Structure formats: structure tokens, C-alpha cells
């Protein structure tokens, strides 16, 4: 892949100069959904699919962008002195956002760059193609300009760019999982203080299967920001009863005692999800540590039910995928992953059931929705690298 990227870069922008080729993964979250902006735990892992990028310094302040995923589009030009989000700028708003965020945080970008990307994560699928571009851009510029930024800081810069440049009030999970990924490990991250632990993913005799609904999801225009606001409001109401920093700091018992403070029943359900999902995540990681994959799977299923009934972020596509997965023998657990409202599901499937799973869930989905789902049997990979 490196050679292909390198060659295309030269064809496009001309030979000469030092061209760096890099890779940053996508991520899948195993459990802990919509908990990261509630001070709770998440349990994602980086994948071996992701985004490749090539970059070279320029001797002026111009920026040139190109994506091998959109070969029908021309090179897009911009400038370091014009780092503003634009509606029609498409994916270039992500690298531009990171450049803007670096400057906001006091890092100087001394010159413009030619940049080219190629991603093999299905776009808008909930596997964090945008966070992958953000972390990749930060990683490339950090290396190119010797900025001395740690991977954890790159994750925060990516999140900052997403929040402030691209207008999505996301938490830290995606950028953190990507920047800090480790082969064959998931990251048990406490978003309250960013303390984390790597947990080996030893799925003896089972695989992680991603089912992609092919319903595109734009976070910005989805109800993501609305859910976040609902949780914030619920927390404010609870704070009037007991002193607490976040919904993630509450046990189920504490929540049951104070939930009456949350006046609106819909908002109460949202808060309930945040509290219970966080506790479920802690239990799931314990289950994995003791090799209890059945319990881990059961908690994944409960996570989906909560996201479906209390948080209401699933929709017919994701419910169809998950509910048909649950019927397949050899499925240990299945749930939606990421923000929801379309995108993907993640399932833990016994090796000898994978083929049947793909056929069977694929068939049910096509029948219910009228179009196809795609399936990926994935591997857990490392964070960003220079190739
Ligand atoms: C998106 C956001 C994350 C997280 C998930 C839901 O992926 O970017 O920060 O909130 O949704 O768990």
C-alpha cells in the first residue's frame, strides 16, 4: 500500500522533496456507548483498517488536498491563512480543523503542505473515519514539523478540532482509541480523568464481526448534540439532590434514589442509560479479564437494548442487524457501535459460525430493508505509524 500511495502522490503533485507516508486506524467500540461525554468508561479498540496519508512540505503557505477515495474530484486548494470550516469543503474540513486546532494550542505550522489520503474504512459507518483522519493529520504534521506532541495530546487536539471547527460535540473516545491503539488490545478508558488500561482481546475461538448497515450517518446533523444536552440537563437536576461531578460517577443504586429529580421522563431514560451503561462497561471488562466471554456478550446485548429503548439512538437498520444476529447460534453478543442512527454493529461470533452469520444476517437485513448490509471480520491493530 505504501508504494501505491507514494506513486499516486508523485503523479499528482510531482516528484522531489521528502514524502512521508503514514497510517492511522479506525476504531470499534466494544462496549460503553454514549458514556464518554458523561464522565464514564469506554472500551474501544483500534482496527487494522484505517486511513493512509502522504504529506510533503511546501515552500509557501498553500495547502493542497486530495483523496484517492474520490478520484473524480480535483485537487482542492486552500491556505494556512484561511483555516475556516466551509460547508462545501467535504472531508478537507477534518485536516483543516486539525491545523486550526494546532495553531490554537500554540503550535506553529511554518509552511503549507501537499496532502493526500486514502481510507479503507467505510465512510460514515460509525468506525470513526473522521477521527482517523484527524489523528492521522496531527500525527503527520507532528512528525513533519517536529512539534513534540504526545499521542494522547494528539487525541485531545483531534477532539478539540471536531468540537470547535466541525461543530460536533463528541467525547474523547474515538480520537483516544485511534491515537493510543495497541495490537490485540482494547483500551479501558475512564473519560473522567483519562486514566486507562490495555486489556488483551483473547477471543479464543471467536471473531469480531462488524456489520455495516449502509445507512449513512452524519454526526453533525444527527441527534448526537441533542443527546449530550439532555444528559447535561439531567445531571444539573441530579446535582440539586446530591453532589456529583458526572453521570458516570453514579452507581445504579445512587441513580435509582435520585432519579426523581430528573423531571422529564424521556430525559430520565437518557440519564439511566448513561449510568447503567457505564457500570455495564466496568462489569464487561471484568468478565473479559476472567475469560467469561458469555457474560461479556450478554452485557453487549444489554447495552444494545438500553441504546434502543432508553437512549433511542438505534433505528430500524441497527435493530434489524442486531436482532437477527441474536438469533444466530454461535453469536456471543451483538450491539450497535459508535454514535448510532445508522452506521455499524459489532458482534462476537464463534469461528465456525462466522460464515453462516454473514449469510443469515445479510439475508434478513436485505429482506427487511430492501438493500444490502456489508460485513467485515476485523483484527485489532496498533495506533498511528509512519510506514
Ligand atoms: C461518537 C463520538 C464519541 C462517542 C460515541 C458514542 O463516536 O465521536 O465521542 O460519544 O459517538 O459512544
Q: What is the pLDDT of residues 224-280, one digit of tens each?
A: 889 999 999 999 999 999 999 999 999 999 999 999 999 999 999 999 999 999 999
Q: Lowest mean pLDDT: which of 151-155, 167-171, 318-322? A: 167-171
216 found inside a domain: no
Assess whether pLDDT exceeds 70 at residue 365. Answer: yes
Verify whether ligand 1 is closer than 6 Å to residue 338 (CB atom). Answer: yes
Helix (H) or strand (E) holding 114: strand 113-119
For residue 168, the CA-to-ligand 1 centroid distance in Å is: 10
Nearest by Cα to 40 from 56, 52, 29: 29
Verify whether ligand 1 is closer than 6 Å to residue 36 (CB atom).
Answer: yes
207 CB contacts (<8 Å, ≥6 apart)? Answer: 348, 349, 351, 354, 377
What is the separation of C-alpha 90 from the centre of its chain, rounded to a whole number of angstroms?
A: 18
The pLDDT-based confidence of 125 (bands split at 50, 70, 90) is confident
User: Is 137 a domain residue?
Assistant: yes
In a domain, 168, yes or no: yes
116 assigned to some structural domain: yes
335 lines ligand 1 (CB under 6 A): no
Q: Atom 2, ligand 1: which residue's CA is nearest?
A: 170
Of the candidates 209, 178, 196, the residue with the CA atom closest to the CA atom of residue 381 = 178
- Say if 44 falls within a structural domain: yes
Query: Does residue 36 form part of some domain?
Result: yes
Contact 34 CB / ligand 1 (< 6 Å):
yes
The percentage of residues in the chain with a pLDDT greater than 70, rounded to a whole number, is 98
Query: Is 136 contained in some domain?
Result: yes
CA 368 to chain centre: 27
Q: What's the CATH code of the domain at 28?
A: 3.30.230.10
Q: State pLDDT tens for residues 67-108.
A: 999 999 999 999 999 999 888 888 999 999 999 999 999 999
pLDDT of residue 302: 98
pTM for this structure? 0.96
Q: Does ligand 1 have an atom closer than 6 angstroms to the CB of 107? A: no
Q: Which residue has the cell 522531489?
A: 16
Burial of 325 (0-12, 13-18, 19+ CB in 10 A): buried
Query: How many domains in the chain?
Result: 1
Note whether 250 and 270 are within 8 A (CB).
no
Average of pLDDT values for 323-345?
A: 96
Cα of 262 from ligand 1 centre, angstroms: 24
User: What is the distance in A from the centroid of ligand 1 to the CA of 123?
Assistant: 15
Residue 42 to residue 248: CA distance in whole angstroms: 11
Q: Distance (Å, rounded) from C-alpha 252 to C-alpha 89?
A: 44
CA–centroid distance, 133 to ligand 1, in Å, is 15
Give mean pLDDT, residues 347-358.
98
**What is the structure's pLDDT at 146?**
98
Q: Whose CA is nearest to atom 8 of ligand 1?
A: 170
339 lines ligand 1 (CB under 6 A): yes
Residue 223, pLDDT > 90, answer no
Query: How far apart (Å, rounded) are the C-alpha atoms in residues 169 and 95?
Result: 17
27 CB near ligand 1 (under 6 Å) = no
Q: Which of 174, 217, 246, 341 to mutate to test the pocket of ligand 1 (most atoms within 8 A of CB)?
A: 174
Model confidence over 23-45: pLDDT tens digits? 999 999 999 999 999 999 999 99
Calculate mean pLDDT across residues 130-152: 98
Q: State which residues form the domain around 111.
A: 2-201
Residue 135 has pLDDT above 90, yes or no: yes
pLDDT confidence bin for 5, thresholds 50/70/90: very high
Please choose from 33, 131, 173 the residue to mutate so as to test ligand 1's pocket, defined by most ligand atoms within 8 A of CB.
173
The pLDDT assigned to 202 comes to 80
Read off the C-alpha cell for 12.
499528482
Q: Which of 82, 114, 146, 174 is catalytic?
A: 174
Is the residue at 39 inside a domain? yes
Confidence (pLDDT) at 126: 81
With 60 as the cut, is the pLDDT of residue 219 above it? no
pLDDT band at 218 (very low <50, low <70, confident <90, very high): low
Report the pLDDT value the prediction gives residue 217, as an integer from 0 to 100: 62
Per the annotation, the verdict on 174 as an active-site residue is: yes
Average pLDDT over residues 215-232: 80
Quote the radius of gyration of the chain (alpha carbons, Å).
21
3-state secondary structure at position 147: coil
For ligand 1, whether the C-beta of 173 sits within 6 Å is yes
Q: Which atom of ligand 1 is nearest to the CA of 37?
A: 10
Amino acid at each position: 500500500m505504501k508504494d501505491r500511495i507514494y506513486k499516486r502522490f508523485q503523479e499528482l503533485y510531482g516528484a522531489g522533496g521528502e514524502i512521508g507516508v503514514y497510517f492511522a486506524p479506525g476504531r470499534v467500540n466494544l462496549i460503553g456507548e454514549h458514556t464518554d461525554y458523561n464522565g464514564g468508561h469506554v472500551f474501544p479498540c483500534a482496527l487494522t483498517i484505517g486511513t493512509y496519508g502522504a504529506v510533503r512540505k511546501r515552500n509557501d503557505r498553500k495547502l493542497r488536498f486530495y483523496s484517492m477515495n474520490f478520484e473524480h474530484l480535483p485537487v482542492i486548494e486552500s491556505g494556512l491563512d484561511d483555516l475556516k470550516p466551509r460547508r462545501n469543503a467535504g472531508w478537507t474540513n477534518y485536516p483543516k480543523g486539525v491545523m486550526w486546532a494546532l495553531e490554537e494550542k500554540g503550535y506553529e505550522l511554518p509552511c503549507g503542505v501537499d496532502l493526500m489520503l486514502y481510507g479503507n474504512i467505510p465512510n460514515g459507518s460509525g468506525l470513526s473515519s473522521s477521527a482517523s483522519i484527524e489523528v492521522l493529520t496531527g500525527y503527520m504534521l507532528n512528525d513533519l514539523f517536529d512539534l513534540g506532541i504526545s499521542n494522547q495530546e494528539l487525541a485531545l487536539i483531534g477532539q478539540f478540532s471536531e468540537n470547535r471547527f466541525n461543530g460536533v460535540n463528541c467525547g474523547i473516545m474515538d480520537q483516544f482509541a485511534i491515537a493510543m491503539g495497541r495490537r490485540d488490545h482494547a483500551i479501558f478508558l475512564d473519560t473522567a480523568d483519562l486514566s486507562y488500561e490495555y486489556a488483551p482481546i483473547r477471543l479464543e475461538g471467536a471473531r469480531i464481526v462488524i456489520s455495516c448497515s449502509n445507512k449513512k450517518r452524519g454526526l453533525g446533523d444527527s441527534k448526537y448534540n441533542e443527546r449530550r444536552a439532555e444528559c447535561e440537563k439531567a445531571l444539573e437536576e441530579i446535582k440539586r439532590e446530591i453532589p456529583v461531578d458526572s453521570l458516570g460517577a453514579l452507581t445504579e443504586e445512587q441513580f435509582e434514589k435520585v432519579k426523581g429529580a430528573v423531571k422529564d421522563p424521556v430525559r430520565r431514560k437518557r440519564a439511566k442509560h448513561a449510568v447503567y451503561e457505564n457500570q455495564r462497561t466496568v462489569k464487561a471488562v471484568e468478565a473479559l479479564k476472567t475469560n467469561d466471554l458469555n457474560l461479556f456478550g450478554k452485557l453487549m446485548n444489554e447495552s444494545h437494548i438500553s441504546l434502543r429503548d432508553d437512549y433511542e439512538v438505534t433505528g430500524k437498520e441497527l435493530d434489524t442487524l442486531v436482532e437477527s444476529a441474536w438469533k444466530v447460534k454461535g453469536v456471543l453478543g451483538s450491539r450497535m457501535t459508535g454514535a448510532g442512527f445508522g452506521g455499524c454493529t459489532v458482534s462476537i461470533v464463534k469461528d465456525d459460525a462466522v460464515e453462516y452469520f454473514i449469510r443469515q444476517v445479510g439475508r434478513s437485513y436485505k429482506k427487511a430493508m430492501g438493500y444490502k448490509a456489508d460485513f467485515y471480520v476485523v483484527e485489532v491493530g496498533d495506533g498511528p505509524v509512519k510506514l
